[in-house]
Amino acid sequence: MMNCKEISRLASERFDRELGLLERMRFRMHVLMCHHCRRYARQLAFLRRAIRRLAAARATRGPRLSAEARARIARRLDTATQDPR
Amino acid sequence: MNAAAMAPSATGRQTVEVLSFIDPSRTIGSIETARTCTTMADSLSDPATWLEHYGDALYRYALGRLRDPSRAEDAVQDALLAALQARDSFRGGSTEQTWLTGILRHKILDQLRAQGRAAERETDTADEDELERLHFAGTGSWQQPAGRWNDPEGALGEQQFFINLEHCIEELPERLGQAFMLKEFDGLAGAEIGQTLGVTSNNVWVMLSRARMRIRNCLEHTWFGRATR
């Protein structure tokens, strides 16, 4: 029997690797009977969907380079461009 | 849908002829667009315009992975300098932004690798994690189970929820956060993340599990409230 802590690990690892047949069976049986683990697994699945959306949104909005950093990098690039290669 | 052909101009902007998708020999219009468009480029634009066009996107990419503004700024600078050196090797076939992001990604992985070799590894994958200890009794059964969440689907429609989520990710301990970003935002496999951070795949899975547990817990406190069990 796997305990809830081990099941919580599987609830995460199923997103990172393919679980073995035995692991899949144990996971399914356990969440069928244990509502705490069922809820935890469902919330991790929700989290994954939310992260997907965040990653997509992040490509176009979010933090920006500060004006100082931008100016500093521009100066540095300028120097490098003028150096004979 | 239309196919587009590009004619670079000296100004860094370009005229894009919009061709009919059905009959590519027919032009149905033309638009002027900045170089940031995602159409394939044959040649690079003036390096002086890179910072203006891609600076913010590259910075966001670096910040997400390095999690430190000044290190992220340095990484952007290093990547642009490297791109400048390597600009003759650009072969087209990808967008300028993809090419620059690829160079930045290599710079960041190098940094993380160097850091991974130096880092204290025990803390990442110690047998016991403080949050795990809070959630589970010694027997491995729940002592503080996950709370009930009210309307998670509704949360996905709210911008503030995603701002909260970003904060929760930012609050992860450094290496858990790096592992999490490499996995969920870069789509790297466990083995690649392990190589980068200097741990085994198995340790990566443990780290990801702990990262998710923390984010879940953070969302429960900052968004869903401590609802009834």
What are B7-21's pLDDT values in tens digits? 443 444 444 444 434
B131 shares its domain with B86:
no
Give residue-wise pLDDT tens across range B75-114: 999 999 999 988 888 877 678 888 898 899 989 988 888 8
Q: Which residues does residue A28 pair with via DSSP β-bridges, in sequence order?
A: none
CB within 8 Å of A5: residues ≥ 6 apart: B132, B135, B136, B140, B141
| Nearest chain B alpha carbon to A1 | B140
The first and second tokens of residue B55, run together, are 């600076």
Q: Please determine, for residue A5, whether its predicted confidence score (pLDDT) is greater than 90.
A: yes
pLDDT of residue B136: 94
B48 with A40: Cβ contact below 8 A: no
Give the residue from B71, B92, B118 where a domain finishes.
B118
> Rounded CA gap, B66 and B73, in Å?
10
pLDDT of residue B86: 86
B133 shares its domain with B211:
yes
Q: Domain range holding B144?
A: 122-224
Mean pLDDT of A55-81: 86
Q: Please determine, for residue B119, whether its predicted confidence score (pLDDT) is greater than 70.
A: no
Within-domain flag for B41: no
Residue B60's domain is classified under what CATH number? 1.10.1740
Question: Which of the two residues, B61 and A85, has the higher pLDDT score?
Answer: B61
> Rounded CA gap, B41 and B94, in Å?
6
For chain B, the domain total comes to 3
Chain B hits for A50, Cβ within 8 Å = 155-156, 161-162, 165
B60 with A57: Cβ contact below 8 A: no
Partner-chain residue, chosen from B56, B136, B216, that has the shortest CB–CB distance to A5? B136
Within-domain flag for B103: yes
Share above pLDDT 90 across residues of chain B, in percent, rounded to a whole number: 43
| Nearest chain B alpha carbon to A4 | B141
Chain B hits for A26, Cβ within 8 Å = none
User: A-side interface with B, Cβ within 8 Å?
Assistant: 3-6, 8-9, 12-13, 15-17, 36-37, 39-40, 43-44, 46-51, 53-55, 57-59, 62-66, 69-70, 72-74, 76-78, 80-81, 85
| Nearest chain B alpha carbon to A54 | B162
Q: Which residue has the tokens 């880092």?
A: B119
Q: If pLDDT is split at 50, 70 and 90, which confidence band does A28 have?
A: very high
A80 with B84: Cβ contact below 8 A: yes
pLDDT of residue B93: 66
H helix runs in B86-223, sequence order: 96-118, 122-125, 130-135, 152-155, 159-170, 174-184, 190-197, 201-219
Q: Domain range holding A65?
A: 4-82
Average pLDDT taken over every residue of chain B: 79
Within-domain flag for B229: no
CA distance B131 to chain A (A): 11
Residue B189's domain is classified under what CATH number? 1.10.10.10
Give the residue from B118, B142, B173 where a domain finishes.
B118
Q: If pLDDT is split at 50, 70 and 90, which confidence band does B26 have?
A: very low
Q: Please determine, for residue B74, whether its predicted confidence score (pLDDT) is greater than 90.
A: yes
Q: Please determine, for residue A27, whether its predicted confidence score (pLDDT) is greater than 70.
A: yes
Q: Please determine, for residue B48, whether its predicted confidence score (pLDDT) is greater than 50.
A: yes
Highest mean pLDDT among A42-46, B47-51, B59-63, B187-191: A42-46
| Nearest chain A alpha carbon to B149 | A43
B162 with A57: Cβ contact below 8 A: yes
Q: Please determine, for residue B177, whether its predicted confidence score (pLDDT) is greater than 50.
A: yes
Q: Which of A11-15, B189-193, B204-208 has the lowest mean pLDDT?
A: B189-193
CA distance B26 to chain A (A): 32
pLDDT of residue B80: 94
Question: Which of the two residues, A31 and B130, has the higher pLDDT score?
Answer: A31
Give the residue from B88, B118, B148 where a domain finishes.
B118
pLDDT of residue B226: 47
Within-domain flag for B42: no
Cβ-contact B36, B53 below 8 angstroms: yes
Q: If pLDDT is split at 50, 70 and 90, which confidence band does A72 have?
A: very high
Cβ-contact B205, A17 below 8 angstroms: yes
Question: Which of the two residues, B161 and B23, has the higher pLDDT score?
Answer: B161
> Rounded CA gap, B38 and A75, in Å?
27
**Chosen from B60, B98, B164 to mutate, greatest number of chain A CBs within 10 A:** B60
Q: If pLDDT is split at 50, 70 and 90, which confidence band does B183 have?
A: very high
| Nearest chain A alpha carbon to B135 | A5
Within-domain flag for B40: no
B208 shares its domain with B151:
yes
Question: Which of the two residues, A61 and A71, has the higher pLDDT score?
Answer: A71
B114 shares its domain with B131:
no
Partner-chain residue, chosen from A6, A74, A80, that has the shortest CB–CB distance to B51? A74
For chain A, the domain total comes to 1
Chain A hits for B217, Cβ within 8 Å = none
B133 shares its domain with B167:
yes
B100 shares its domain with B127:
no
